[in-house]
Amino acid sequence: MLRACGTATRVTTLLAVFGEQSQPNGTPVAYPRNIEHVADTICCVQESAVLDDVDRTILRLLRENSRRPLREIAKVVGLTVAPVQRRIARLESVGVITRYTVQVNYGRIAGGIEAVTELRFDGHRDLSEILESVSQISEVQEVLTLAGDPDALVRIRVDGVEHLRNVVARLRAGEGVVGTKTLVVLEEWTRSP
């Protein structure tokens, strides 16, 4: 399997094996028709994972409740626990599942405010510079860099209006920031995959 390396690499022979059969002694042997020889220069980039309906259902169930028991997931997708566990491990290893987290309803916390701030930068900012400038602020929970106007959306969680004012002032003071627009979140809804 090729890993992301960010550089071009000369590959003289690449074996792509799409299936295997077992010998009587249990040693797997690749099907000859599924082996391909390639000679070329390639750029090593991570390949997008191909998901089937079972994978999508597993992801949806985990997004609804990441602590859902494997037995319950297996029952929904029509498999036993072991194949479900292997599928989840595969989704983790290829980077589809990157972490397990808690979704907090900040509207239930006294004084908690969530806001989204649009950021506009001067015309010569690299995406990494945008991320670097806002990631230093601990109240920033998420940054989406965009093609178009604005350049980025920043999700902020703060304790109150005064705290929000201070965070927005720090965002405005960032290098290259030429404009902001802040919107306070009233309610949140997320579609499961």
Instruction: Pick 61 or 37 by higher pLDDT.
Output: 61
Residue 63 and residue 14 in one domain: no
Q: pLDDT tens-digit profile of 2-13? A: 444 444 444 444
Rg (Cα) of the chain, in Å, rounded? Answer: 23
Q: Which domain holds residue 18?
A: 8-43
Q: Residue 64: inside a domain, yes or no?
A: yes
Q: Helix or strand or coil: residue 129?
A: helix
Q: Helix or strand or coil: residue 111?
A: coil
Q: pLDDT tens-digit profile of 110-151? A: 667 889 999 888 877 777 777 887 888 889 988 888 887 888
- What is the per-residue pLDDT for 113? 86
Q: Residue 79: inside a domain, yes or no?
A: yes
In 1-24, which positions are buried (b, 16+ CB within 10 angstroms) versus exposed (e)? eeeeeeeeeeeeeeeeeeeeeeee
Q: Residue 113: inside a domain, yes or no?
A: yes
- Please tell me the total count of domains within the chain: 3
Q: How far apart are CA 169 and CA 183, in angstroms?
A: 14
Q: How far apart are CA 85 and CA 79, in angstroms?
A: 10
Let me know: does 106 contact 157? Beta carbons within 8 Å. yes
Residue 116 and residue 166 in one domain: yes
Mean residue pLDDT across the chain: 77
> What sign for the dihedral angle of Cα 93, 99, 100, 105?
negative
Residue 120 and residue 176 in one domain: yes
Q: How far apart are CA 19 and CA 71, in angstroms?
A: 28
